[in-house]
Chains A and B, each alone.
Chain A
């Protein structure tokens, strides 16, 4: 089990720049989730995919955020025109589908810092 991997681990960028993060889920997992976590808070749901279909997107997510999972394997999360408030840890998780809700397996996250 290679686990969920995310790249990069850290990203520092200037306000207004675009950034893209990548997530490779556990290979047999067909569900993939993106979360944002800030200090002292729990992970906040952003969006999720079942295979290549994006099934849910948080209403809190501005249109500067977009996610893709083109072949149903890895996923990318892009933030355009970054703002100070985008500084956070971006976590990816994956799970199987099955009866009931399945445990989610998290990656180590990408920490984004906006200068």
Chain B
């Protein structure tokens, strides 16, 4: 079943608004990665969080890893039209002795200029 869940799946915002999207795992993650996929493009790595409670910023994007390492959030400040795309969180989950990267379904962001 789905091991990494993202909410909401769709987000439509007015340009300039702030918003937050969430990622939850059914299991504890060793780390979590976030990717962005523009329409018609491929996933592009944004950031990796490793430590419990870690917070990292990239310009207007703030990423946080939960204390229990089972959830993460992405907050975008002052949304711009260039932020349009689908944001995926992905966690390494141990399966049969090896770890594989499991992606959520993604959060599709559209921005009204």
A positions within 8 Å CB-CB of B: 33, 40-45, 48, 55-56, 58, 91, 93, 100-101, 103-109
Contact = CB atoms under 8 A, between A and B. Distances in A.
Chain B interface main SS type: strand
A56 B105 contact: no
Nearest to A109: B42
Chain A interface main SS type: loop
B8 to A, nearest CB: 13
**Interface size class, chain B:** 20 to 34
A91 B88 CA distance: 15
B92 A42 contact: no
A40 B33 contact: no
B106 A42 contact: yes
Given A100-B31, A101-B92, A103-B48, A42 B41 contact: no
Nearest to A43: B103
Contact of A56 (B9, B98, B102): B98
13 contacts: A42-B4, A42-B88, A42-B106, A91-B42, A100-B50, A101-B33, A101-B48, A101-B92, A103-B45, A103-B48, A104-B45, A105-B45, A106-B42
